Structure 1
Amino acid sequence: MTFLMFLAGLAALVAGANLLVRGASKMALSFGISPLVVGLTIVAFGTSAPEVAVSVGAVLDGNTDIAIGNVVGSNIFNVLFILGLSALIAPLVVNLQLIRQEVPIMIGCSMLLLLLGWDGRLSLWDGALLFGLLVAYTVFLVVQSRRQNRESSEPTEFDAELPPVNATAWDAKWPVQLALIAAGLGLLVLGSDWLVSAAVVFAKAMGVSDVVIGLTIVAAGTSMPEVATSLAAAIKGERDIAVGNVVGSNTFNILGCLGVSGLVSGDLGLAMAPSVLSFDIWVMIAVALACLPVFLTGREIARWEGGVFLAYYAAYVAYLVLATQQHDALAPFSAAMMGFVIPLSLVTLVVSMIRRTPQN
């Protein structure tokens, strides 16, 4: 029954996010808002809605480890698993704006999270700062996109994510759009409650901590909208959307999910588990930093780089499992990763960058 509850919660989160995005984007388009603005805000936020719902629900239930682990784990999962799998389908094109602006912002947000949580807790004021930065970032994107929209009438990479405007469609009327938004929010709330409850039961039954469950099972589950969006974009040949979706979601996860969760936590704040501060958050920052050299090698993510991303995610999960069980293989596994696998990957990446530089 617990497993069925977990699956039902996951299905409710995915369905709720889809309904919310459809209703909100249709309503925005009905009021004459640019498709670019809708894509940069509503679509990006909608795919991260499950993370918000689960993190806030976990805080309200007193499981702050799941809230923190969900965000950190989702960001690691998004880059290593989603981009890795998408790149295996087709080499991913990286938009120049992502390299110049969005990836540095994602890296900055990751480092800010480490700085704010260095004392072992995200306070109410930390949450307010993160949420304030989210509002400022959204306003900046809207202003920037409107200026670019006036300068060029060409379709953007985000337009392909949105359905065309059809005045005769069944969801063209605002009452239907409101109903879709309400249904989406309801499913998100219900799904998050089921998913968090099932995850807590799993943690107790398996003898692992809430933070590990949040970093793995919950993180992967709440990232299903990003998985669906990026894989569909890669299959359709809209390869820049696959990358932009991940980078935008990672930024929103930190500023939005933890910002709202910090505000909801009140005076108690969000406790940062020592294991997250000493290891997982550093992995998240390393993954974010790795995006720049990988993206710069020909402004694409090649298939072999996607394979490396997937291999690193498998290694990360294996490390978490071994560390949780205090397995005898943990020490040799860590030594092999630090002494051979990671240095070899760095050398390969540097050689690849040198070989591609003359072509750019």
Structure 2
Amino acid sequence: MMKAPSAAPQLTTLVFLSALAVLPVNMFAPSLPHIAATFSADFALVNLSIAGFAIVAALTQLVAGPLSDRFGRRPVVLCAVAVFTVASIGCALAPSIGVFLVCRFMQAVIATGYSVSLAIIRETSTEREAASKIGLVASAWALAPMVGPAFGGMLDQLFGWRANFVAFAVMGAAVLALVAVDLKPRARTTARPLASYLRGYADLLRSTRFVGYVLCMAFSSGTLYVFLGGAASASAHLLDGSSARLGLLMGIVPAGFMIGSRLAGRYASRYPLSTTVLVGRLLACAGLLVGLLLSAFDVGGVLAFFGPCMFIGLGNGLTMPGANAGAMSVRPDLAGTAAGLAASLTVGGGALIASISGLFLTEASGSHALFVAMFASASTALLWALLVAWRDRSSA
């Protein structure tokens, strides 16, 4: 039985919830050396606080999606934010690296806020309206990782690394109160066994439309991950080893994502989902093709390298809202399950693509090899977008 519709919360509530889901990923990254020094721990062990967080977050979304479909969005989100808040306090008070890592992994349940926010938008909006609203919410996904490390570094410098986790606890408590007030309980429906929601994974994976949208997002994310992994070595000769300049110039990609997300928020409701997805992929491929040609003809310079890379963010900003809305539209009664599965496969697929590319990209490869890898990933995403567009047109 289809779930009864629930009252839509304020969009600002979902923006804060989504921002809280991504902010803990890297806000405390500048504090990693100080954490290692406090606990006299190997840096590789401390670095698990980021890599392990990502793994637990991906697994959490696989479980949280069906739970939110079965028991409702509100209780799942409240539990996730409450656990995150308590875990943040645990990180701030941790007496050892072991306790710190356990609490840090517990923090990863906040990733639930990402997929559940998407599900709430989809079930309270039409398909095109959902893409438009996701575009607006996606701005928070781009802004939070941009300003997070700067804010976290400032807290570390003024008050020490534990202040980051005190800030997480305060933000968690504020979002918990906001969600408790604004996110209304779902109307009572006929209960279905949880196993039926888990079987929904098989139904989704048998859908060409769902798989097409997810693979489009995975290769789009993979393009970004390849850039993040290779930009430092490929541009080292252009920046004279300045990490400050590198960090500033790498911010051009999330800036492009914000622009693309805002454009999606404004125009996605006017056109079919596959249209904004295709436009995003075409822009990303066009920008990277220019970069590839410039590198092939030995046209150097900071602008020649980073300028085309801005189209990675611009294209992804246009692609992700429509692709997410499309993936959740395959089974509207399983919007949470679809959102969680799509998020996990997107992150995992993107990381796998970056790992494979990393086997062929070395410090001696230069910018040309990096552009080849990024263009290959972006082109594959475009092919999946074309497949979905053809499928949608055939269905229509």
TM-score range, shorter chain: 0.3 to 0.5
TM-score normalised by structure 1 residue count: 0.36
TM-score normalised by structure 2 residue count: 0.33
Structure with more contact order per residue of length (Cα contacts < 8 Å, sep ≥ 6): 1
